[in-house]
Copies of this chain bind each other. A is one copy, B any other.
Amino acid sequence: MSAKHVVLTVAYDGTAYCGFQRQRPGPKASIQEVLEGAIGRALGAPVRLVGAGRTDAGVHAEKQVVSFRAATTIPLPRLPYAVNRFLPPDIVVTGALEAGDRFHPRFSAASKVYRYTIWRAEFPSPFLRRYSWHRPEPLDVEAMRRAASFLVGRQDFAALGAAGRPVRDTVRTVFRCEVEERPPLLVVRVEADGFLYKMVRTIVGTLVEVGRGKLAPEGVREILASRDRRRAGPAAPALGLCLEDVRYHSVDTPAGLL
């Protein structure tokens, strides 16, 4: 029984977790350790997995991609059922595929798509309270769209990555940054080849400042040029953020992910 390179797509409600990545022991578990535990029980052997995106505490995923190597005789179409048996209902494996050796969930990804949901009604929603940011004040959506347009392209995003986390290379390519009205929701979708720490939440926090008239749309250009994190808006809270998709075009990617 030779080891397979297994790829799983996973959806999760991040409310109860300290984020995707395994951390020092704390009050909340990580998605990674719960998944590794369930896969290990399903396969009868421990596994170590790699994920496409390190979602933060409270951030959700509609489609996270993880992979691991394991020798297993469970047919791939049955594997999600086998693993889901050992998962709590807020984490669900939605598919299983086999990848070539060179596939890596993060390094092979061409882009990731994050969606941020804002609930604009006067009062909070009992249904979307875990999955959206309640902002009841008037927001100038056209101004937000104009500001969002300045974020697209290959640029230095140092001003929109979290403060206090020095990264050598802060240049990323944002393929799209769209603001979609679906009353009472406002949805911000950002697709990029990579993200700095808290980048989407800082983009959303800054766009909301623009929507509230606290910042001109063109101010976003100046903030980017400044490379100074202190000039951007505060990061929007984690609960509105969801990893919506991971896109691959590379060799050894399983066909089901292309």
Contacts and interface: CB of A to CB of B under 8 A. Distances in A.
Interface of A: 11-13, 60, 62, 80, 84, 89-94, 121-127, 129, 131
A92 B124 contact: yes
A127 B123 contact: no
B126 A91 contact: yes
Looking at chain A's contact residues, the main secondary structure is: loop
A126 B89 contact: yes
Contacts of A129: 89-90
Greatest chain B CB density within 10 A among A80, A84, A94, A123 is at: A123
List the 4 shortest-distance A-B pairs measured between CB atoms, nearest first: A13-B126, A94-B123, A90-B126, A92-B126
A59 to B, nearest CB: 13
20 contacts: A11-B126, A11-B127, A12-B126, A13-B126, A13-B127, A60-B126, A60-B127, A62-B127, A80-B123, A84-B123, A89-B124, A89-B126, A90-B126, A90-B129, A91-B126, A92-B124, A92-B125, A92-B126, A93-B123, A94-B123
Given A62-B127, A92-B125, A94-B122, 8 more contacts: A11-B125, A13-B126, A84-B123, A89-B124, A90-B126, A90-B129, A91-B126, A92-B126
A122 B80 CA distance: 10
Contacts of A93: 123
Nearest to A94: B123
Nearest to A130: B127
Greatest chain B CB density within 10 A among A125, A126, A129, A131 is at: A126
Contacts of A13: 126-127
Contacts of A60: 126-127
A12 B125 CA distance: 8
Contacts of A62: 127
Contacts of A11: 123, 125-127
Contacts of A124: 89, 92
A56 to B, nearest CB: 17
A198 to B, nearest CB: 22
A126 to B, nearest CB: 4
Contacts of A91: 126
A118 B159 CA distance: 44
A247 to B, nearest CB: 20
A127 B131 CA distance: 8
Contacts of A123: 11, 80, 84, 92-94
A126 B91 CA distance: 6
